[in-house]
Chains A and B, each alone.
Chain A
């Protein structure tokens, strides 16, 4: 069985550009969450989607947006990139929605570097 898959694995962008990161959850999982992990810190919650609806949003600016598709895959979009957006972006899928994340499975992440 495939785990959580993310693409691309690495990405280099210039300040001011836009980026789209993609995530495919484990088959059968309907909830996808996005986290930002800056080097040396723990992951910070960005968004959660369940059944194609946003169920939670962390403390991130409106430049960050996401959506979930009918097949439960998800995209994270970041506009007007800043140097501080450089981080590992992790996608996690779980079986349940916002009513109990007893175990979230993480993808390998997308390493975004903004220059």
Chain B
């Protein structure tokens, strides 16, 4: 199978840090993507990890461990506009298509 699992919901306070975990079956995927999707809008690309380690892009960082089938997205200095669904997606080994998790809804409170 090619299940991608991530928590359904997370809540955090403005200015805080939130870490969204994503686990997947190691045999099925090359790299891992993270997308942000605001309600009623299209997903927008945040990050792509194909090698182990941490990739930092401003307030957002993404980590990948290929051997453990584990990734996380770290959101720092949370802002109200960060309230959205965050989708973890694996790039399938056999055909490079994207398989998405169900998404984690992050709610940022004042």
Instruction: Using CB atoms and an 8 Å cutoff, list the residues of chain A in contact with chain B.
Output: 4, 33, 35, 40-45, 48, 55-56, 58, 90, 98-109
If A40-B102, A56-B97, A101-B98 are given as contacts, then 17 extra A-B residue pairs at C-beta distance below 8 Å, sorted by A number, are A4-B42, A33-B97, A33-B98, A40-B103, A42-B89, A42-B103, A44-B100, A45-B98, A48-B97, A58-B97, A98-B95, A99-B96, A100-B96, A104-B45, A104-B98, A106-B35, A107-B42
Tell me the interface secondary structure of chain B in the complex. Answer: strand
B102 and A106: CB pair below 8 A?
Answer: no
Instruction: Using CB atoms and an 8 Å cutoff, list the residues of chain B in contact with chain A.
Output: 4, 35, 41-45, 48, 87, 89, 91, 95-103
Please give me the residue from chain A that is nearest to B95 by CB atom: A56
Q: Bound complex: CA of A35 vs CA of B16, how far in Å?
A: 33
Q: Bound complex: CA of A41 vs CA of B104, how far in Å?
A: 9
A105 and B41: CB pair below 8 A?
Answer: no
**Cβ of A87 to closest chain B Cβ, rounded Å:** 13
Q: Bound complex: CA of A4 vs CA of B43, how far in Å?
A: 12
Q: Bound complex: CA of A109 vs CA of B35, how far in Å?
A: 15
Task: Knowing A98-B96, A103-B48 are in contact, say whether A42-B42 is a contact too (CB < 8 A).
Answer: no
**Cβ of A31 to closest chain B Cβ, rounded Å:** 10
A103 and B45: CB pair below 8 A?
Answer: yes
